[in-house]
Protein backbone atom coordinates (compact mmCIF):
# COMPACT_ATOMS: atom_id res chain seq x y z
CA UNK A 1 0.00 0.00 0.00
CA UNK A 2 1.35 3.45 -0.93
CA UNK A 3 1.05 5.93 1.92
CA UNK A 4 -0.96 9.06 1.23
CA UNK A 5 1.19 12.21 1.25
CA UNK A 6 1.49 14.56 4.19
CA UNK A 7 0.03 18.04 3.65
CA UNK A 8 0.32 20.18 6.79
CA UNK A 9 -1.48 23.46 6.18
CA UNK A 10 1.06 25.55 8.10
CA UNK A 11 3.88 24.32 5.90
CA UNK A 12 2.52 25.76 2.68
CA UNK A 13 -0.29 28.19 3.50
CA UNK A 14 1.27 31.08 1.56
CA UNK A 15 1.70 28.91 -1.53
CA UNK A 16 -1.84 27.60 -1.12
CA UNK A 17 -3.17 31.15 -1.13
CA UNK A 18 -1.29 31.84 -4.37
CA UNK A 19 -2.43 28.60 -6.01
CA UNK A 20 -5.98 29.38 -4.91
CA UNK A 21 -5.84 32.64 -6.86
CA UNK A 22 -4.43 30.84 -9.92
CA UNK A 23 -7.30 28.35 -9.79
CA UNK A 24 -9.80 31.17 -9.32
CA UNK A 25 -8.48 32.64 -12.58
CA UNK A 26 -8.99 29.28 -14.34
CA UNK A 27 -12.50 29.26 -12.91
CA UNK A 28 -13.20 32.65 -14.43
CA UNK A 29 -12.56 31.11 -17.86
CA UNK A 30 -15.44 28.73 -17.20
CA UNK A 31 -17.63 31.54 -15.85
CA UNK A 32 -17.06 33.58 -19.02
CA UNK A 33 -17.38 30.81 -21.62
CA UNK A 34 -19.31 27.76 -20.34
CA UNK A 35 -23.07 27.36 -20.90
CA UNK A 36 -24.89 27.71 -17.59
CA UNK A 37 -25.86 24.55 -15.70
CA UNK A 38 -27.84 23.92 -12.50
CA UNK A 39 -25.99 24.09 -9.18
CA UNK A 40 -23.13 26.02 -10.86
CA UNK A 41 -21.75 22.84 -12.44
CA UNK A 42 -20.59 24.87 -15.44
CA UNK A 43 -17.94 26.73 -13.40
CA UNK A 44 -16.25 23.74 -11.74
CA UNK A 45 -12.73 22.49 -12.42
CA UNK A 46 -11.50 18.89 -12.50
CA UNK A 47 -8.50 16.89 -11.33
CA UNK A 48 -6.35 15.85 -14.29
CA UNK A 49 -3.38 13.54 -14.80
CA UNK A 50 -1.05 16.51 -14.30
CA UNK A 51 -2.94 18.98 -12.14
CA UNK A 52 -6.31 20.73 -12.36
CA UNK A 53 -8.12 21.59 -15.59
CA UNK A 54 -11.11 23.44 -16.95
CA UNK A 55 -11.81 20.52 -19.27
CA UNK A 56 -12.99 21.41 -22.80
CA UNK A 57 -14.74 24.78 -22.93
CA UNK A 58 -16.37 26.35 -26.03
CA UNK A 59 -14.60 29.54 -27.10
CA UNK A 60 -14.24 31.86 -30.10
CA UNK A 61 -11.12 29.87 -31.04
CA UNK A 62 -12.87 26.47 -30.90
CA UNK A 63 -12.63 24.12 -27.94
CA UNK A 64 -10.39 25.61 -25.27
CA UNK A 65 -8.74 23.87 -22.34
CA UNK A 66 -6.72 25.53 -19.60
CA UNK A 67 -4.73 23.27 -17.29
CA UNK A 68 -2.70 24.10 -14.21
CA UNK A 69 0.11 21.59 -14.66
CA UNK A 70 1.59 20.83 -11.24
CA UNK A 71 4.23 18.51 -12.70
CA UNK A 72 5.99 21.05 -14.94
CA UNK A 73 4.54 23.98 -12.95
CA UNK A 74 2.91 25.95 -15.69
CA UNK A 75 -0.57 26.85 -16.83
CA UNK A 76 -1.12 25.61 -20.37
CA UNK A 77 -3.70 27.20 -22.67
CA UNK A 78 -4.68 24.88 -25.55
CA UNK A 79 -7.22 25.01 -28.37
CA UNK A 80 -8.61 22.42 -30.74
CA UNK A 81 -6.93 24.36 -33.56
CA UNK A 82 -3.59 23.17 -32.25
CA UNK A 83 -2.53 26.39 -30.54
CA UNK A 84 -0.80 26.14 -27.17
CA UNK A 85 0.77 28.74 -24.91
CA UNK A 86 2.17 28.18 -21.42
CA UNK A 87 2.46 30.56 -18.49
CA UNK A 88 4.99 29.70 -15.78
CA UNK A 89 3.96 29.00 -12.19
CA UNK A 90 6.68 30.38 -9.91
CA UNK A 91 7.34 32.93 -7.20
CA UNK A 92 5.79 36.14 -8.51
CA UNK A 93 2.74 38.34 -7.87
CA UNK A 94 -0.64 37.17 -9.10
CA UNK A 95 -0.94 40.52 -10.94
CA UNK A 96 2.02 39.52 -13.12
CA UNK A 97 0.61 36.03 -13.69
CA UNK A 98 -2.77 37.55 -14.63
CA UNK A 99 -1.26 39.80 -17.28
CA UNK A 100 0.64 36.91 -18.88
CA UNK A 101 -2.39 34.65 -18.72
CA UNK A 102 -4.70 37.15 -20.42
CA UNK A 103 -2.02 37.63 -23.09
CA UNK A 104 -1.84 33.85 -23.58
CA UNK A 105 -5.59 33.67 -24.14
CA UNK A 106 -5.37 36.42 -26.71
CA UNK A 107 -2.45 34.68 -28.41
CA UNK A 108 -4.65 31.64 -29.12
CA UNK A 109 -7.57 33.77 -30.31
CA UNK A 110 -9.65 34.07 -27.12
CA UNK A 111 -10.28 37.77 -26.46
CA UNK A 112 -13.21 37.24 -24.09
CA UNK A 113 -13.06 39.53 -21.08
CA UNK A 114 -12.77 37.60 -17.82
CA UNK A 115 -14.18 38.67 -14.44
CA UNK A 116 -11.18 39.89 -12.46
CA UNK A 117 -12.39 39.69 -8.84
CA UNK A 118 -11.85 36.61 -6.63
CA UNK A 119 -14.87 35.07 -4.90
CA UNK A 120 -15.54 33.42 -1.53
CA UNK A 121 -12.35 34.78 0.06
CA UNK A 122 -11.93 37.46 2.73
CA UNK A 123 -10.70 40.86 1.53
CA UNK A 124 -10.60 39.98 -2.18
CA UNK A 125 -8.07 41.79 -4.35
CA UNK A 126 -8.69 42.19 -8.10
CA UNK A 127 -6.26 39.95 -9.95
CA UNK A 128 -4.63 42.81 -11.91
CA UNK A 129 -3.82 44.54 -8.59
CA UNK A 130 -2.81 41.52 -6.51
CA UNK A 131 0.81 41.79 -5.37
CA UNK A 132 0.03 40.19 -1.99
CA UNK A 133 -0.09 36.59 -3.26
CA UNK A 134 3.31 35.77 -4.73
CA UNK A 135 4.73 32.66 -3.00
CA UNK A 136 4.94 29.44 -5.02
CA UNK A 137 6.65 26.42 -3.46
CA UNK A 138 6.74 23.87 -6.28
CA UNK A 139 7.42 20.92 -3.96
CA UNK A 140 4.47 21.77 -1.72
CA UNK A 141 2.15 22.34 -4.68
CA UNK A 142 3.15 18.99 -6.16
CA UNK A 143 2.27 17.43 -2.79
CA UNK A 144 -1.18 19.04 -2.94
CA UNK A 145 -1.75 17.53 -6.37
CA UNK A 146 -0.55 14.12 -5.14
CA UNK A 147 -3.19 14.25 -2.41
CA UNK A 148 -5.85 15.00 -5.02
CA UNK A 149 -4.73 12.05 -7.16
CA UNK A 150 -4.91 9.78 -4.10
CA UNK A 151 -8.41 10.78 -3.00
CA UNK A 152 -10.10 11.43 -6.37
CA UNK A 153 -10.60 7.71 -7.20
CA UNK A 154 -12.47 7.21 -3.91
CA UNK A 155 -14.78 10.10 -4.82
CA UNK A 156 -15.35 8.52 -8.26
CA UNK A 157 -16.29 5.15 -6.75
CA UNK A 158 -18.69 6.78 -4.30
CA UNK A 159 -20.24 8.80 -7.12
CA UNK A 160 -20.69 5.74 -9.37
CA UNK A 161 -22.70 3.86 -6.73
CA UNK A 162 -25.64 6.30 -6.84
CA UNK A 163 -28.70 5.69 -9.04
CA UNK A 164 -30.09 9.23 -8.89
CA UNK A 165 -28.83 12.55 -10.13
CA UNK A 166 -25.24 13.09 -9.03
CA UNK A 167 -22.63 15.71 -9.85
CA UNK A 168 -19.25 14.99 -11.34
CA UNK A 169 -16.29 14.94 -8.99
CA UNK A 170 -15.62 18.67 -9.06
CA UNK A 171 -13.01 21.09 -7.78
CA UNK A 172 -14.76 24.27 -6.72
CA UNK A 173 -12.27 27.11 -7.00
CA UNK A 174 -14.22 29.51 -4.79
CA UNK A 175 -13.68 27.46 -1.66
CA UNK A 176 -10.79 25.34 -3.04
CA UNK A 177 -12.46 22.01 -2.31
CA UNK A 178 -12.97 18.74 -4.14
CA UNK A 179 -16.58 17.53 -3.86
CA UNK A 180 -19.31 15.30 -5.21
CA UNK A 181 -23.03 15.85 -4.56
CA UNK A 182 -25.95 13.41 -4.64
CA UNK A 183 -29.51 14.69 -5.13
CA UNK A 184 -32.79 13.23 -3.90
CA UNK A 185 -34.70 14.63 -6.88
CA UNK A 186 -36.91 16.85 -4.72
CA UNK A 187 -36.82 20.67 -4.92
CA UNK A 188 -36.29 22.70 -1.78
CA UNK A 189 -36.06 26.31 -0.66
CA UNK A 190 -32.68 28.03 -0.32
CA UNK A 191 -31.89 29.57 3.08
CA UNK A 192 -33.49 32.92 3.92
CA UNK A 193 -31.44 35.86 2.68
CA UNK A 194 -29.40 33.67 0.33
CA UNK A 195 -27.28 35.46 -2.25
CA UNK A 196 -27.18 34.49 -5.93
CA UNK A 197 -24.51 31.85 -5.38
CA UNK A 198 -26.36 30.13 -2.55
CA UNK A 199 -29.74 30.37 -4.30
CA UNK A 200 -28.30 28.57 -7.29
CA UNK A 201 -26.67 25.91 -5.12
CA UNK A 202 -29.39 24.91 -2.68
CA UNK A 203 -32.52 24.65 -4.80
CA UNK A 204 -32.72 20.83 -4.64
CA UNK A 205 -32.31 18.41 -1.74
CA UNK A 206 -28.72 17.25 -1.72
CA UNK A 207 -25.99 15.51 0.19
CA UNK A 208 -22.35 16.50 -0.41
CA UNK A 209 -19.03 15.00 0.56
CA UNK A 210 -15.72 16.69 -0.04
CA UNK A 211 -12.19 17.62 0.97
CA UNK A 212 -10.44 20.92 1.44
CA UNK A 213 -6.74 21.64 2.11
CA UNK A 214 -7.37 23.96 5.08
CA UNK A 215 -7.58 27.71 5.50
CA UNK A 216 -6.90 30.35 8.12
CA UNK A 217 -10.22 29.65 9.87
CA UNK A 218 -9.87 25.85 9.84
CA UNK A 219 -6.13 25.18 9.46
CA UNK A 220 -6.30 21.45 8.82
CA UNK A 221 -6.91 19.53 5.60
CA UNK A 222 -10.13 17.60 6.17
CA UNK A 223 -12.95 15.64 4.62
CA UNK A 224 -16.53 16.79 5.20
CA UNK A 225 -20.09 15.60 4.68
CA UNK A 226 -23.44 17.38 5.02
CA UNK A 227 -26.98 17.43 3.67
CA UNK A 228 -29.20 20.35 2.73
CA UNK A 229 -31.77 20.89 4.10
CA UNK A 230 -30.16 19.84 7.37
CA UNK A 231 -31.88 16.61 8.51
CA UNK A 232 -33.53 16.79 11.92
CA UNK A 233 -31.27 15.39 14.61
CA UNK A 234 -28.28 14.84 12.32
CA UNK A 235 -25.94 16.54 14.78
CA UNK A 236 -26.63 13.70 17.23
CA UNK A 237 -25.78 10.95 14.77
CA UNK A 238 -22.81 8.78 15.68
CA UNK A 239 -20.97 7.56 12.61
CA UNK A 240 -19.28 4.16 12.85
CA UNK A 241 -16.04 5.76 11.69
CA UNK A 242 -13.23 6.51 14.16
CA UNK A 243 -12.39 10.22 14.46
CA UNK A 244 -15.42 11.44 12.46
CA UNK A 245 -17.23 14.17 14.41
CA UNK A 246 -20.05 16.65 13.93
CA UNK A 247 -18.84 20.26 13.85
CA UNK A 248 -21.52 22.68 15.05
CA UNK A 249 -19.76 25.75 13.69
CA UNK A 250 -19.48 24.31 10.17
CA UNK A 251 -22.75 22.36 10.29
CA UNK A 252 -21.23 19.19 8.88
CA UNK A 253 -19.38 16.00 9.69
CA UNK A 254 -15.61 16.41 9.71
CA UNK A 255 -12.85 13.83 9.39
CA UNK A 256 -9.30 15.15 9.41
CA UNK A 257 -7.06 14.12 6.54
CA UNK A 258 -4.33 13.11 9.01
CA UNK A 259 -6.72 10.64 10.65
CA UNK A 260 -7.46 9.08 7.27
CA UNK A 261 -3.74 8.90 6.46
CA UNK A 262 -3.21 6.91 9.65
CA UNK A 263 -5.76 4.23 8.69
CA UNK A 264 -4.52 0.82 7.57
CA UNK A 265 -6.35 1.41 4.27
CA UNK A 266 -7.01 5.14 3.78
CA UNK A 267 -9.15 4.54 0.69
CA UNK A 268 -11.40 2.06 2.47
CA UNK A 269 -11.66 4.27 5.57
CA UNK A 270 -12.62 7.27 3.44
CA UNK A 271 -15.29 5.35 1.56
CA UNK A 272 -16.70 4.13 4.89
CA UNK A 273 -16.94 7.75 6.05
CA UNK A 274 -18.76 8.84 2.88
CA UNK A 275 -21.19 5.92 3.03
CA UNK A 276 -21.89 6.29 6.75
CA UNK A 277 -22.51 10.02 6.43
CA UNK A 278 -24.84 9.47 3.48
CA UNK A 279 -26.80 6.78 5.33
CA UNK A 280 -27.19 9.02 8.39
CA UNK A 281 -28.34 12.03 6.34
CA UNK A 282 -30.52 10.22 3.80
CA UNK A 283 -32.36 8.10 6.36
CA UNK A 284 -33.23 11.13 8.49
CA UNK A 285 -34.24 13.17 5.46
CA UNK A 286 -36.52 10.41 4.12
CA UNK A 287 -34.70 9.84 0.82
CA UNK A 288 -35.70 6.91 -1.34
CA UNK A 289 -33.52 3.98 -0.11
CA UNK A 290 -33.42 2.52 -3.62
CA UNK A 291 -31.15 5.34 -4.77
CA UNK A 292 -28.24 3.31 -3.42
CA UNK A 293 -27.91 -0.36 -4.47
CA UNK A 294 -28.33 -2.79 -1.58
Walk along the chain (294 residues) and give the pLDDT tens digit of each residue. 578 999 999 999 999 999 999 999 999 999 999 999 998 899 999 999 999 999 999 999 999 999 999 999 999 999 999 999 999 999 999 999 999 999 999 999 999 999 999 999 999 999 999 999 999 999 999 999 999 999 999 999 999 999 999 999 999 999 999 999 999 999 999 888 888 888 888 899 999 999 999 999 999 999 999 999 999 999 999 999 989 999 999 999 999 999 999 999 999 999 999 999 999 999 999 999 999 987
**Domain boundary residue, one of 129, 160, 177:** 129
Instruction: Please give the order of strands across the beta sheet that includes 222-228.
Output: 170-172, 177-187, 204-212, 222-228, 252-256, 245-247
Query: Which pLDDT value is given to residue 54?
Result: 98
Q: Do 164 and 280 belong together in one domain?
A: yes
Structural domain containing residue 114: 9-129
Q: Do 179 and 48 belong together in one domain?
A: no
According to DSSP, residue 286 is labeled T
| CB contact at 8 A, 257 and 147 | yes
Q: Residue 138 falls within a domain, yes or no?
A: no
Query: Which pLDDT value is given to residue 196?
Result: 83
Q: Do 221 and 278 belong together in one domain?
A: yes
Query: Which pLDDT value is given to residue 4?
Result: 95
Q: Do 21 and 93 belong together in one domain?
A: yes
Query: Which pLDDT value is given to residue 1?
Result: 53
Q: Do 105 and 217 belong together in one domain?
A: no
Q: Do 161 and 261 belong together in one domain?
A: yes
Distance between CA atoms of residues 253 and 209, nearest Å: 9
Q: Residue 3 falls within a domain, yes or no?
A: no
| CB contact at 8 A, 246 and 222 | no
Q: Do 158 and 284 belong together in one domain?
A: yes
Q: Residue 140 falls within a domain, yes or no?
A: no
The domain total for the chain is 2
**Domain boundary residue, one of 97, 129, 161:** 129
Q: Which residues of 109-121 are buried (b: 16+ CB within 10 A; e: fewer)?
A: ebeeebeeebeeb
Q: Do 195 and 120 belong together in one domain?
A: no
Q: Residue 177 falls within a domain, yes or no?
A: yes
Q: Residue 273 falls within a domain, yes or no?
A: yes
Q: Residue 1 falls within a domain, yes or no?
A: no
Q: Do 102 and 29 belong together in one domain?
A: yes
Q: Do 98 and 155 belong together in one domain?
A: no
Q: Do 156 and 271 belong together in one domain?
A: yes
| pTM recorded for the entire structure | 0.95
Closest to 178 (Cα-Cα) out of 206, 154, 203: 154
Q: Residue 257 falls within a domain, yes or no?
A: yes
Q: Residue 2 falls within a domain, yes or no?
A: no
Q: Do 188 and 246 belong together in one domain?
A: yes
Amino acid sequence: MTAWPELPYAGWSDSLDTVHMVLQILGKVRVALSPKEPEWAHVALYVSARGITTGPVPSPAGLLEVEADFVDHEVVVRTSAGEAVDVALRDRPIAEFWNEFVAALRAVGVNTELPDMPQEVPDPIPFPDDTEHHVYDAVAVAGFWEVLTAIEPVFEEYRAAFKGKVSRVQFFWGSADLAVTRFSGEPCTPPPGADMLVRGTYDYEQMSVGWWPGNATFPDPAFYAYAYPKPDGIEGASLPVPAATWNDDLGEFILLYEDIRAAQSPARALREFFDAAYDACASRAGWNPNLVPS
